[in-house]
Chain A
Amino acid sequence: MEKTSEDRLRDQRDYVLRTVEERGVRLIRLWFTDVLGRHKSVAISPAELEAVLEEGLQFDGSAIDGFSRIQESDVLARPDAATFELLPWADPDEPSGTIFCDITNLDGTPFAGDPRQVLRRNVEQARAAGFEMFCAPEVEFFYFANSDTTSPPVPLDQASYFDLTTADVASDLRKQTLHMLEALSIPVEYSFHEDSPSQHEIDLQYTDALSMADSIMTLRLAVKKIAMDRGVYATFMPKPLNGVQGSGMHTHLSLFRDGANAFHDPDAEDGLSQTARAFIAGLLHHAREITAVTNQLVNSYKRINEGYEAPRYVSWARNNRSALVRVPIPKPGKVDSTRIEYRAVDPACNPYLAFSVLLAAGLRGVEEGLELGPEARVNLYDLSRVEQRELGVAGLPANLSEALDEMEESTLVRDALGDHIFEWFLRNKRAEWSEYQRQVTPFELETYLPNW
C-alpha cells in the first residue's frame, strides 16, 4: 500500500518520539544554519518535542546573522524528522538527539533568510525539470596544536600526502572522526593525510544535495568537537599557513534523470552527454558570479591565488588538475559514476548556499543549451597574463571585493539565493572587506617598517 506524504510525515514523527522515549533521550538539539554557514543549535527537552514536531519552535530570528529584519523578527524552527539522529558523542548516561530544522515564517511559509530553505527551493526547481543533483565533496582541514589567535598556528606534524604516520595524534583523531561520521549516517569514501603539514582530507560518499549540505554541517562540527576533546584545534579556514597549500572542498557533481546518469552518453566519444557539457558550460559562464558564495572569506582568495591544487582560471579539462572544472574519467563499466568536479569551493563556505549556486549555474547552462568551449590542455598555472588573454581564459576573482562586484551584477545568484539573502550577504561581506582593508597587516609591517 502506497504511503502518502502525510502518512510518511506522521511515521517519521512517531519514529522520533518513540526512539526518544525508548532510548531515554534527555535532550534534543534542534540544528539550523545562519546565512554565513555557522551551525546554530537550540536544545529542547523530550517533553517539548511532540509539540515542536507538530508546530515548530518559535524564536527571535533577529539574533541570528542574516535572519530577520527587525520589524518581523519571530520565526519558527520546524524539525525535519527524517534527519533525526542520536548524537554519538553524547554522554551515554544522558543520550542526546539531533534534528535539522527548516526555518519558516509564523504562517508556515519558507523563511527567506534560511539557507536550508534556499537549497530546498533550488533542489525542487531542479526536480521540476526532472533532475536530481548528487554531491560528493572532498573536505580538507588542518589540525593545530593551538587555538590561540595571537600566535601563528602550530601544525601537529610535518607529514605529507598519503604519509602513513605512526603513533601520530592526527591519524588517531581522524579515525575517531570517521567512526563518528559513520555513526551519524555520513559514509566516508576515503580519508588521508593531505599535502601540507597537519592537513587532512575526508572524502564523503555522494548523496543528494540537501542531505550533503546537512552532512557537511555535521562533519565540521564532528571534526572540531573530536579534536577539541583531545586538546587539538581543527580548522576549515581556507588558507591558515603561508607557503603551503590551503584547504579546499572540491565538489563532485552529477545529475540524474529518471534514475539514469544524465551526464553519461554511451554514444559520445568521451562519454559526456550534451547535458553534462551544457552544465559545465553553465558553471564556467557563471563561475565568477558565484565565487563570492563558494569562497566567502577574505582568506579564501589567498588559497585561490596561490595555485597548488586550487584553480585560478575559469576553464575545464579532463585530467588537468589546474582547471576549475575537472571531468574525472569513470572506470570502465561504471558509467553511473560519470561526474564533474568543481574545484573552487572551500570548506568555509555555507554548503546550502554553495550547492544552490552550483546547481543554478549548471542548470542555467542546460536550460539555455550553452556550448562548451575546448578543454584546457596546458597547465594553466604556468600561463603568463598575456598568454591568458590570448587564450581567452578568464581568471577567478582575485579577492573578495572583486567577487562581490561580480555577484552584485548577477541575476542568476540573486534568483538562486533570493533577495533577502542576496542583499544581506552583499552588505555583510562588503563590511568584512572594508574592515580588512583598514588593517595594517604583518606583511606591511615586516616589509615597510624597516625601509621607510
Chain B
Amino acid sequence: MAGPGGGRTPDRGMGGYDRADWRGGDPAHTMDPLLVYPDPPPPELAQCLDLDGWAWKSVANPDAAMSEEPDEGWSGAIVVADTDPEGAFALCRRLRKVEMPLTPLLLLVGGGQLADLELRDDLFDDFCLTPVRPAELQARIEHLFYRTGRGTRPELVEYGPLALNLETYQAAVDGEPLDLTYMEYELLKFLAAHPGKVFTRETLLSRVWGYDYYGGARTVDVHIRRLRAKLGEEHAGLIHTVRSVGYRFGQSRWGVQASRPPGN
C-alpha cells in the first residue's frame, strides 16, 4: 500500500484536481517515501500522513523493507509496535543494527509497553503513545523529519499542471514559465507545498511573510489576487477562497466530493 508519494500517475480530468494529483510537499517533504509498518497501517496514521502531505509506503515485514526500498533509500520510518511488538522490534533491529542505520525512526507504542523501550534506545529516535492523538503525531513527525529533505536533488513541488523548482526559484504551469515577484513565488511555494490544507490569512502572514510585513490580512488578499492573475484564467481556480476562513490550494483532501465545484 502506498501513500500519495507512491508514484501514481497524475489525473487531470474534469478540470478539478484530484487528490491523486499531488506528489510533493514542502522542502522537508520532497523526498523518498517514509517506511511505515505494518501493512496496512492503522487508518489514523495513514490519514495523518496524508493530511500532512508525506509520501509513504507500508511494508509487512523486514524482508519487504529491504526489497521495497526505493533507489535513494527510505527517508525515515514509522513503526507501530502496539499490535505486534515482536515483528515491530525485529524490523527496528534490521533497520538500525546495520552499518548505515536508518534515521529518523518514530516508534508508536501502547501505554503498557513503555517498559519494552528499556535498553532499546538505539532502535528509535522518538516515540509516541497509542492511541495516537493526530495533532501530537503530526507535531512529532514534523519535528523528527524536519531536516531530512535530501538536498542533493533539485527539489520539486508539483501539483497538477503546476511545477515549482525550489532550487532555481522557477515556477511553471503546463511547462510555461510563470513570471513571479519574490513574494508571489514564496506564497505559491507555501500553498503548493500544502495542497488541500486551508490556511487563515494570519497563518499565511506569519508563515510566508514572517514578522516583516505590514497591513495585516489585506496584504495576503492583494498577493492572492496577483497570483491568480499570473496563473491565468484557466488555473486561477487552483487557489480557492474558503469563505470567512482563508485560502486553500488545490482540492480538499478529505471530503473531496463535497468540495467539487458545481458541474463536476
Contact = CB atoms under 8 A, between A and B. Distances in A.
Interface of A: 2-3, 5, 8, 11-12, 14-16, 18-19, 22-23, 81-86, 88, 127, 132, 134, 182-183, 185, 187, 205-208, 211, 256, 258-260, 336
Given A19-B169, A183-B230, A207-B222, A132 B215 contact: yes
Contacts of A258: 216
B234 to A, nearest CB: 14
B183 interface: yes
A217 to B, nearest CB: 15
Interface of B: 168-170, 177, 179, 181-185, 202, 210-212, 214-219, 222, 225-226, 229-230
3 closest A-B pairs (Cβ-Cβ)? A259-B216, A132-B215, A182-B229
A22 B216 contact: no
Given A85-B179, A183-B179, A259-B217, A15 B226 contact: no
Given A83-B181, A183-B179, 7 more contacts: A2-B210, A12-B182, A14-B169, A134-B218, A208-B222, A258-B216, A259-B217
Contacts of B212: 3, 5, 8
B243 to A, nearest CB: 11
A8 B210 contact: yes
Contacts of B218: 134, 206, 256, 259, 336
A256 B215 contact: yes
A185 B181 contact: yes
A18 B216 CA distance: 29
19 contacts: A2-B211, A3-B210, A8-B212, A11-B182, A18-B169, A19-B169, A22-B168, A23-B170, A85-B181, A132-B214, A134-B218, A185-B184, A185-B229, A187-B225, A208-B214, A208-B215, A208-B222, A256-B216, A259-B217
A208 B217 CA distance: 12
Contacts of A183: 179, 229-230
Contacts of A211: 222
A88 B180 CA distance: 11
A81 B226 CA distance: 17
Contacts of B230: 182-183, 185
A170 B92 CA distance: 72
A127 B222 contact: no
A187 B226 contact: yes
A205 B216 contact: no
A119 to B, nearest CB: 14
A18 B170 CA distance: 9
A350 to B, nearest CB: 23
Contacts of A336: 218
A22 B218 CA distance: 32
A82 B183 contact: yes
A282 B219 CA distance: 26
Nearest to B226: A185
Nearest to A259: B216
